[in-house]
């Protein structure tokens, strides 16, 4: 795996050491049990896999190269590089400007750009329509196109599905940048429709099995399907791909469910005529993060802390898994911990909550700790320090951490 040049202030010497030890002991990632770190009366259960993935490190490296290689030039990001506020704030503090927000709302008009400007495409990629609009303005959008190769893999698979007359079913959030981009690439090759979850997949299944009318189906998926979508024609042969940050297990469950619908109609021997095998589109990093989270669920702990941007899809899915077993706190960084209190995000209600005390009143405390794929390790270590500081003074924390070397 390629090593990227990411600014050192995103790294954590402590967590880098733990990751290096695990990689040496288990290079093929067959063991997803957490690393255990004893610091004073705290036991931190640290996920086997967490933090920056390949696509994120690639995007950050190329963003900083753009800054270094073009001093004095105007540099723009199409939208947020990744869903982490610290990374995006650092880029903007270096002079990079955002052209759009995460929902595609224009912040700076494209027609104000010139061919001398530098435009970076974020890791999520972008739509074919936006690519064409920027190209028509004479802008070079390839030199600093940081689209994740695993997102491009989904696009390539969608193209192949279109060539074989399959309708492309995208498991994703229709308003997410990556899904908007994937949908754009998909409809260039054939019909496409976006399903958010199993509940929406079951609406498709109801139509496939003759239990729901085309009118009802079209009404529900309005704005989430290609123009002229005809259920009778376009749901006769499908392939499922996904937004790479969705739960891989949910994508597989949706695929298996839709497969069962076609089998009930046509028999298993004929399934290849109605549904493509698309397991190869699942992102390795999303799979690893989620497998590591399942490894955490096999442990006993008092609480879980998940660190990441509040608009990060992959981070919210880690929370979704962990809250099945532990009191789980979703925070963006260490500033959310203030003394014994914690401010945390409820991704179900989209509200910021405050808990005046979140650590149990006992001597020994076991804390599950992980982060999303766009969260720097340095922020995770800062969170660890903030938790330790609830029970120890600054000098005591420094001494405890020094004793780990």
The domains of the chain are located at 8-53+285-402, 54-136, 149-282
In this predicted structure, what is the pLDDT of residue 55? 86
| C-alpha to C-alpha distances, 348 to 70, 249, 336, 351, nearest whole angstrom | 42, 19, 19, 8
CA distance 345 to 52: 21
Token reading at 285: 């990093």
Token reading at 185: 């690439």
Query: Which member of 178, 200, 320, 381 is catalytic?
Result: 178
Right CATH for 149-282 from 3.40.1010.20, 3.40.50.980, 1.10.287.1400, 3.30.70.890:
3.40.1010.20
- Decide if 54-136 and 149-282 have a common fold: no
First to last CA, the chain: 27
In this predicted structure, what is the pLDDT of residue 1? 60
Check if 178 is active-site. yes
Sheet containing strand 167-171, strands side by side: 192-195, 167-171, 238-242
Residues 367 and 301 sit within 8 Å (Cβ to Cβ): yes
In this predicted structure, what is the pLDDT of residue 396? 94
In this predicted structure, what is the pLDDT of residue 282? 67
| pTM of model > 0.85 | yes
Does the structural domain 54-136 have CATH classification 3.40.50.11270? Answer: yes
CA distance 398 to 379: 17
In this predicted structure, what is the pLDDT of residue 280? 63
Domain 8-53+285-402 fold is Cobalt-precorrin-4 Transmethylase; domain 1 (3.40.1010)
In this predicted structure, what is the pLDDT of residue 279? 74
Render each residue's pLDDT in the chain as its tens digit; 405 residues: 677 888 889 999 999 999 999 999 999 889 999 999 999 999 999 999 999 888 889 989 999 999 999 999 999 999 887 778 888 889 899 999 999 998 889 999 999 999 999 999 999 999 999 999 999 999 999 999 999 999 999 999 999 999 999 999 999 999 999 999 999 999 999 999 999 999 999 999 999 999 999 999 999 999 999 999 999 999 999 999 999 888 888 999 999 999 999 999 999 999 999 999 887 666 777 788 889 999 999 999 999 999 999 988 889 999 999 999 999 999 999 999 999 999 999 999 999 999 999 999 899 999 999 999 889 999 999 999 999 999 999 999 999 998 887
Buried b (16+ CB within 10 A) or exposed e, 123-152: bbbbbeebbebbeebebebeebbbbbebbb
In this predicted structure, what is the pLDDT of residue 404? 86
């Amino acid at each position: 795996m390629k090593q990227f040049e990411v600014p050192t202030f995103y790294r954590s010497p402590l967590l880098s050491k733990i990751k290096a030890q695990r990689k040496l002991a288990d290079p093929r990632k067959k063991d997803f049990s957490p690393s255990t770190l004893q610091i004073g009366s705290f036991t931190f259960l640290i996920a086997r896999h967490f933090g920056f993935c390949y696509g994120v490190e690639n995007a950050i490296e190329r963003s900083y190269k753009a800054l270094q290689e073009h001093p004095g030039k105007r540099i723009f990001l199409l939208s947020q590089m990744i869903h982490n506020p610290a990374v995006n704030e650092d880029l903007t503090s270096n002079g990079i400007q955002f052209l759009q927000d995460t929902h595609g709302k224009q912040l700076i008009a494209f027609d104000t750009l010139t061919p001398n400007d530098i435009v970076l495409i974020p890791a999520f990629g972008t739509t074919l329509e936006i690519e064409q609009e920027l190209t028509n303005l004479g802008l070079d959008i390839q030199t600093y196109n940081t689209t994740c190769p695993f997102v491009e893999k989904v696009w390539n698979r969608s193209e192949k599905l279109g060539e074989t007359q399959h309708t492309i079913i995208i498991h994703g959030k229709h308003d997410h940048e990556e899904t908007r981009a994937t949908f754009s690439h998909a409809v260039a090759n054939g019909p496409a429709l976006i399903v958010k979850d199993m509940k929406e997949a079951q609406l498709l299944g109801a139509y496939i099995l003759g239990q729901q009318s085309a009118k009802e189906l079209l009404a529900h998926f309005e704005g989430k399907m290609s123009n002229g979508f005809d259920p009778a024609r376009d749901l006769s042969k499908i392939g499922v791909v996904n937004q790479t940050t969705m739960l891989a297990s949910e994508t597989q469950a949706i695929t298996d469910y839709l497969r069962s619908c076609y089998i009930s109609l046509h028999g298993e021997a004929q399934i290849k005529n109605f549904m493509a095998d698309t397991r190869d589109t699942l992102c390795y990093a999303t799979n690893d993060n989620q497998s590591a989270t399942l490894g955490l669920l096999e442990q006993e702990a008092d609480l879980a802390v998940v660190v990441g941007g509040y608009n990060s899809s992959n981070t919210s899915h880690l929370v979704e898994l962990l809250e099945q077993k532990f009191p789980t706190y979703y925070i963006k960084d260490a500033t959310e911990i203030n003394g014994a209190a914690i401010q945390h995000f409820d991704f179900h209600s989209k509200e910021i909550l405050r808990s005046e005390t979140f650590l149990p009143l006992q001597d020994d405390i076991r804390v599950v700790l992980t982060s999303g794929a766009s969260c720097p390790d340095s922020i995770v270590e800062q969170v660890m320090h903030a938790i330790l500081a609830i029970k120890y003074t600054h000098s005591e924390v420094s001494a405890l951490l020094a004793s780990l070397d």
